[in-house]
Amino acid sequence: MGCRTEYCIAFLSIFLLSCKEDSDNKDQNVPVYSCMPVTNDWESSQYILPYRVGSEYFVNQANCSGFGHSNFWSHGYDFTMNIGTSITASRSGTVGWATDGCADGNTACTNLITIIHDDGTVALYSHLTNGGVLVSPGEVVEMGDIIGRSGNTGNTGGLPHLHFSVHPCNQLPGLSNAGDCPTIRVNFRNTDPNPDGLEPKRFYGAKDF
Ligand SMILES: [Zn+2]
């Protein structure tokens, strides 16, 4: 599957737009996306860590940690991973977008997967390696299934990692350009206690679920 150029351009332009919003928050015409809490108990979370049980990875960026995780993208996690690491579905659902064909190291083009859950929320798995998208749109995946391989495509800052975020609807920036589905904060049930979500700058191991 080739990289759809229009998605890449849209993704880049939204990123540039969100950077601009960083410096323009005083302008009342620009939406401000605040840092939100989670409301559920972490032990009953509908999400598991998006990698294999028994493995552990370093959370380099977490919720509201600045840099790429601010404004629209306030909530989400960057797991530092070598290129080619297996990515698993954090929650069951149906594949929405599955775009591949961007070369690792290409900062303007991101390989990504979205999975639409039964309540309409959408998980985004991005920066996947070239050839690392292992599912197709419309495919049903179960929690824990291997869906892709991590990489270093798009705005990674040069650090290979998986970006994982959850959105309240299926109009993600760069995919629909709607810009009205900002990230929401989630926690995970198969790891150490994380009532407010994962903390940055530490490892989290994936346990049985
Ligand atoms: Zn990220």
CA of 105 to the centre of ligand 1 (A): 16
Number of domains observed in the structure of the chain: 1
CA of 164 to the centre of ligand 1 (A): 7
- Is residue 166 within 8 A of residue 184, CB to CB? The reply is yes
- Is residue 136 within 8 A of residue 76, CB to CB? The reply is no
- Is residue 8 within 8 A of residue 175, CB to CB? The reply is no
pTM for this entry: 0.84
CA of 42 to the centre of ligand 1 (A): 21
Q: What is the domain range of residue 15?
A: 5-205
Burial of 29 (0-12, 13-18, 19+ CB in 10 A): exposed
Look at residue 170 in the predicted model and tell me its pLDDT. Answer: 80
CA of 75 to the centre of ligand 1 (A): 9
- Is residue 88 within 8 A of residue 147, CB to CB? The reply is yes
Look at residue 73 in the predicted model and tell me its pLDDT. Answer: 86
CA of 141 to the centre of ligand 1 (A): 23
CA of 27 to the centre of ligand 1 (A): 25
CATH number where 25 lies: 2.70.70.10
Query: Across 75-181, where does the E strand assignment appear?
Result: 77-80, 86-88, 93-99, 111-116, 122-133, 140-141, 146-150, 161-167
Per-residue pLDDT of the chain (209 residues; tens, 9 = 90+): 444 444 444 443 343 333 333 434 444 444 567 789 998 999 999 999 999 999 999 999 999 998 888 888 889 999 999 999 999 999 999 999 999 999 999 999 999 999 999 999 999 999 999 999 999 999 999 999 999 999 999 999 999 999 999 999 887 766 543 467 889 999 999 999 999 999 999 999 999 99
Nearest to 88 by CA among 59, 50, 116: 50
CA of 59 to the centre of ligand 1 (A): 10
